[in-house]
A and B are shown apart, each in its own frame.
Chain A
């Protein structure tokens, strides 16, 4: 084999290997998405709370500490709802059960679906917050002009790190597009000025996803 042929074989080998790395890295980028979620779930880093009801743990109340728990509620453009909370902040002891009422108001005359997505800050507190009952576990439906009050029942774990004195819970309302409800389609179209067929598709997929897994 002369030098030129040798070089050609080498080039071919190099190309195949680099292509393999390319494909691998492209797949890696997508693999990072679930990995990231798992990582955050274990560590609670991005403030996403466990979205299933947890049971009360009777571990006694630590009366030596008061934790200031703050509540923030936010709406979003696609959903004509208002969300308010009975009190902006409360003091609780670790281990103590607490309850706070949230009120949802549908300001439009038509029925629609929404969901409140929670986020906890500081994120280190996430894994120490037990939600026994929360409206955020599932989607909700409100009739036109309906007003609904739902309590949040939670407990702070006693092993909450010493240096955390304040915990902020943020609920952001998001519209849930249900294809069956033609009203909510209207909503979606309002918020999405791109073309219609696209937004249909979007509704479809989003709906599947949201229904398929509980956040």
Chain B
């Protein structure tokens, strides 16, 4: 426990920030690019995060399409195997660290202050810094593709010694980029925790907070706990590569398996970092469009916390085949299955919320419903993989690829899109074009399933992942997957169109844009003015 601090002096830097932006009217912000470079406003920073994430989503998407184009037919036709490996690696890294994570941070920036009645994030300047680290990190990462020897080619999990002894010379830059991105996430997490714990509207207890705020609070704690471990691992890699240590080098007494333990100690909580905020978004949208309060609010909170705690005890389910002793296999198998219990509680609560609701099917709701169904499929394939002896067979096959894409694309990404459609009226003052949004939804859902469902079968039939060529019997599955991938990729252009149209105009939205929406963000006008809740709102406890 930190010592009890004397009440004085007040925190200097945020004091001035608060004073500048609030008490004495608002100084005119600098114009043009400087405004965005220097902004400390949570809404503007939120928008920056979201735009960055969307850009990276397309860059990562193009890499995926290179992969799918090569896999369209058996045989090597379009790219060299070396380049293929760089594409799979970069796709994974960009999607995880530059698309999904920043999107959630962007939503957190926009919505957490609005949902808890705070005027801004607790540390606005730090917030600006956290964001601007990201373009630096990922420009650096992408630039490795043009370096001699090419970019990272060892998979997003960068197992040593592939990523140390056998890595391209650019690996040092990869490590640096990941360090910078990691610092950005850590600072973002500190800011979010500080905001949620200290800046809630008077009268709002922790158990009154909307679930998006709750899930983000828990996610932020996960980030604080595991990002330093990631930083530690890549620092060890850096030393192995450049300073002759042998953390992961058997020749010098190290152990490559240690790398996997450390990586997955970070890696498994990381996958929950990418899904918990999604749970929060869906838990906001489903009650709104079912016009019923969320079923089992408290159990949702406890389930989220339970998932977060358990996520520290399951990491070796990614390592069933490294030669763990039997007791370890059993322990990690059962602990992994145990996670399905709190996850099941959540799914149960969503479905029960729908039960006898007066449901309407606007685009945010469609994406949320698809989330519930398809995420659950991903959870089930996860359960199959959790069976250690079965995983001996499935590991490193396309079945694993199918599993994690089901939890990440119609899971995390659909939830982000649902959130964007849900909150766009608040951000822009206009409803998104519902017709186009619905087309976007149907195209996406067809694309996702066409792409990833056949991968289950390819994997069960034994197709290994991360290969540029494959045996003939997998040709049909891959053909379908590739068609689906291009279809899905193209339909995301519709999403961009809807967002741009919505920013420029559209049906005017009132403060409370959705009939059944309850949280505090719907009490401020649409579009939300740059500065909101400068005097804390009066919080009325809804009956959860």
A residues at B contact (CB < 8 Å): 1, 3-5, 7-23, 25-26, 28-30, 32-33, 36-37, 40, 43, 45-48, 76, 117, 119, 121-124, 172, 174-175, 194, 198, 201-206, 209-210, 213, 215
Any A CB within 8 A of the CB of B416: no
The reply to whether A7 and B242 form a contact with Cβ atoms under 8 Å apart is no
**What are 29 of the A-B contact pairs (CB < 8 Å)?**
A3-B202, A4-B18, A7-B198, A8-B14, A9-B7, A10-B197, A10-B198, A11-B123, A15-B194, A16-B2, A18-B224, A21-B224, A25-B225, A25-B226, A26-B228, A26-B231, A29-B228, A29-B229, A29-B233, A30-B236, A33-B236, A76-B251, A117-B250, A174-B250, A194-B169, A203-B244, A205-B244, A209-B246, A209-B252
Any A CB within 8 A of the CB of B536: yes
- Indicate with 1 or 0, residue by residue over B315-346, a CB within 8 angstroms of chain A CB atoms: 00000000111000000000000000000000
- How far in angstroms is the closest Cβ of chain A from B243? 6
> A204 to B325, alpha carbons, bound, how many Å?
36
> A207 to B232, alpha carbons, bound, how many Å?
24
Any A CB within 8 A of the CB of B509: no
Contacting residues, chain A, for B27 (C-beta < 8 A): none
The reply to whether A11 and B122 form a contact with Cβ atoms under 8 Å apart is yes
Any A CB within 8 A of the CB of B245: yes
Not counting A11-B198, A18-B194, a sample of 5 additional A-B residue pairs whose C-beta atoms are within 8 angstroms of each other reads A8-B14, A12-B5, A25-B228, A174-B251, A202-B242
Question: Which of B5, B169, B190, B262 has the most CB atoms of chain A within a 10 A radius of its CB?
Answer: B190
Known contacts A13-B5, A32-B261, A205-B243; is A25 also within 8 Å of B229 by CB? Answer: yes
The reply to whether B194 and A11 form a contact with Cβ atoms under 8 Å apart is yes
B residues at A contact (CB < 8 Å): 2, 5, 7, 10-11, 14-15, 18, 122-123, 169, 186, 189-190, 193-194, 197-199, 202, 224-229, 231-233, 236, 242-247, 250-253, 255, 257-258, 261-262, 265, 323-325, 536
Contacting residues, chain A, for B5 (C-beta < 8 A): 9, 12-13, 16
The reply to whether A205 and B245 form a contact with Cβ atoms under 8 Å apart is yes
- How far in angstroms is the closest Cβ of chain B from A48? 8
Known contacts A16-B2, A18-B224; is A8 also within 8 Å of B11 by CB? Answer: yes
The reply to whether B11 and A29 form a contact with Cβ atoms under 8 Å apart is no
Contacting residues, chain B, for A119 (C-beta < 8 A): 250
Contacting residues, chain A, for B190 (C-beta < 8 A): 14-15, 18-19
Residue from B225, B236, B245, B251 within 8 A of A21 (CB atoms): B225
- How far in angstroms is the closest Cβ of chain A from B137? 18
Contacting residues, chain A, for B198 (C-beta < 8 A): 7, 10-11, 14
* Complex: chain A residue closest to B123, CB-CB: A11
Contacting residues, chain A, for B2 (C-beta < 8 A): 13, 16-17, 20
Contacting residues, chain A, for B7 (C-beta < 8 A): 1, 5, 9
Contacting residues, chain B, for A172 (C-beta < 8 A): 250-251
- How far in angstroms is the closest Cβ of chain A from B525? 24
Residue from B14, B202, B244, B324 within 8 A of A11 (CB atoms): B14
Contacting residues, chain B, for A14 (C-beta < 8 A): 122, 190, 193-194, 197-198
The reply to whether A210 and B169 form a contact with Cβ atoms under 8 Å apart is no
> A3 to B245, alpha carbons, bound, how many Å?
52
